C-alpha cells in the first residue's frame, strides 16, 4: 500500500486526476469505478479542469458506479447514478451511456447484482477504482463485518452511515434509504488499481485503522492491504492519527516522477 499525504484536498484531487488522465492516455476506453459523496469531489473538479482548460479527451472512458441506494425512484437527483452523471459525465461532456450502475429499482435485486458483476467482467474488469472511506471504515457500502471476499449484493446501512449521509437528504435521516446495492469487497479488490481518498480530521481514525490497523472485516477499508496496487491519498488532517506519517512523507518526496502512483 502506498500512502501519499498532501497539503490540501485540491492538491490530492489534482494528483488523482493525473493518474486517471495517464490511464486514459494509455488506454482511451479504460474502465473507472466512480465513488460518490464528498471525498472524490476534488478529483472530479480537477478532472473537469483538465478536460475544459487543457482539452483532455476522456470521451471513451467507461464508468462503473461503486454503489446505489435502493428505494429511490429512477432519476431521483439523490441517486448515485444521477450524482455521477451530474458531477462527472455531464461536467466532462462524456456520453451518459458510458456509465453503468447496478439496477437498484429492479424487481429482482439479486439478479440485478449478478448482472452488474457480469457487466464488469464483460468490460474486462475495472482498471482504476476510486474510493472514499466512511467514518466507520466502510468502503463502497460494505459496512463493518462485510466479508472481505463479498461480491455485489444488497446491504443494510448502519444508522451511523445514514446519519452521515443525511446531509444529502435535507438533514432528515428518516428519509435516507436503509438498503443499498454495493460492489462487494471482493469485487473492489478485483480492480487493477485502487485509489482511496480522504480529507479532514473526521476521517483520521478510519484512515489510521485502514493503513496501520490489522486487516479485519471490522474495518472494510483495511482490505486494501490484500491488493497488490492500492494507493491512499489523504490530507494532513486525515493523516494525523498515523504513527508512520513521517515515513510516508519522506517516501513520497523521494519517489521518482516516472513512477507516479
Query: Could you list the active site residues?
Result: 67, 136, 138, 143
- 192 by Cβ neighbours in 10 Å (0-12 / 13-18 / 19+) ranks as middle
- Please state, in angstroms and rounded to a whole number, the distance separating the CA atoms of residues 229 and 259: 13
Q: Which residues contact 207 (CB under 8 A, 6 or more apart)?
A: 133, 198, 232, 234, 238, 239, 241, 242
Task: Return the range that interacts with ligand F6R (CB under 6 A); candidates 17-25, 127-135, 230-238, 243-251.
Answer: 127-135
Which of 23, 66, 128, 233 is the binder for ligand F6R (CB under 6 A)?
A: 66
Binding of residue 140 to ligand F6R (CB under 6 A): yes
In angstroms, give the least distance from the CB of 182 to ligand F6R.
7
Q: How far is the CA of 113 from the CAs of 63, 168, 183, in angstroms?
A: 16, 25, 8
Binding mask 78-97 for ligand F6R (x = CB under 6 A): --x-----------------
In angstroms, give the least distance from the CB of 133 to ligand F6R.
6
Instruction: Judge whether 199 and 238 are in contact, CB under 8 Å.
Output: yes
**Grid cell locating 141:** 457500502
Binding of residue 235 to ligand F6R (CB under 6 A): no
Cα 113 off chain centre by: 18
Binding of residue 35 to ligand F6R (CB under 6 A): yes
Q: How many residues does the chain have?
A: 261
Task: Return the range that interacts with ligand F6R (CB under 6 A); candidates 35-43, 120-128, 148-156, 226-234.
Answer: 35-43
Instruction: Judge whether 140 and 183 are in contact, CB under 8 Å.
Output: yes
Binding of residue 150 to ligand F6R (CB under 6 A): no
Residue appearing with cell numbers 451530474: 86
Q: How far is the CA of 116 from the CAs of 35, 123, 149, 174, 191, in angstroms?
A: 16, 11, 16, 29, 14
Binding of residue 130 to ligand F6R (CB under 6 A): no
Nearer to ligand F6R by C-beta: 14 or 146? 146
Binding of residue 220 to ligand F6R (CB under 6 A): no
Task: Return the range that interacts with ligand F6R (CB under 6 A); candidates 33-41, 70-78, 92-100, 210-218.
Answer: 33-41
Which of 3, 51, 113, 139 is the binder for ligand F6R (CB under 6 A)?
A: 139
Interacting residues toward ligand F6R by CB under 6 A: 35-39, 66-67, 80, 132-134, 138-141
Amino acid at each position: 500500500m502506498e500512502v501519499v499525504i498532501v497539503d490540501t484536498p485540491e492538491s490530492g484531487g489534482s494528483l488523482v486526476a493525473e493518474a486517471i488522465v495517464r490511464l486514459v492516455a494509455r488506454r482511451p476506453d479504460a474502465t473507472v469505478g466512480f465513488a460518490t459523496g464528498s471525498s472524490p469531489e476534488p478529483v472530479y473538479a480537477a478532472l473537469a479542469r483538465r478536460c475544459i482548460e487543457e482539452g483532455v479527451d476522456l470521451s471513451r472512458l467507461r464508468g462503473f458506479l461503486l454503489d446505489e441506494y435502493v428505494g429511490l425512484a429512477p432519476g431521483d437527483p439523490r441517486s448515485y447514478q444521477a450524482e455521477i452523471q451530474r458531477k462527472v459525465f455531464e461536467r466532462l461532456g462524456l456520453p451518459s451511456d458510458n456509465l453503468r450502475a447496478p439496477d437498484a429499482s429492479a424487481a429482482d435485486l439479486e439478479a440485478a447484482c449478478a448482472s452488474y458483476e457480469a457487466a464488469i467482467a464483460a468490460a474486462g474488469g475495472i482498471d482504476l477504482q476510486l474510493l472514499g472511506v466512511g467514518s466507520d471504515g466502510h468502503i463502497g457500502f460494505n459496512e463493518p463485518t462485510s466479508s472481505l471476499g463479498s461480491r455485489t449484493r444488497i446491504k443494510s446501512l448502519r444508522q451511523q452511515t445514514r446519519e452521515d449521509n443525511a446531509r444529502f437528504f435535507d438533514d432528515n435521516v428518516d428519509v435516507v434509504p436503509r438498503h443499498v446495492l454495493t460492489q462487494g469487497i471482493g469485487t473492489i479488490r478485483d480492480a487493477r488499481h485502487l485509489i482511496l481518498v480522504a480529507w479532514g480530521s473526521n476521517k483520521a481514525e478510519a484512515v489510521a485503522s485502514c493503513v496501520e490497523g490489522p486487516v479485519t472485516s471490522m474495518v472494510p477499508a483495511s482490505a486494501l492491504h490484500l491488493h497488490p496496487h492500492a494507493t491512499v491519498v489523504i490530507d494532513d488532517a486525515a493523516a494525523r492519527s498515523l504513527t508512520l506519517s513521517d515515513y510516508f512523507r519522506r517516501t513520497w518526496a523521494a519517489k521518482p516522477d516516472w513512477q507516479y502512483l
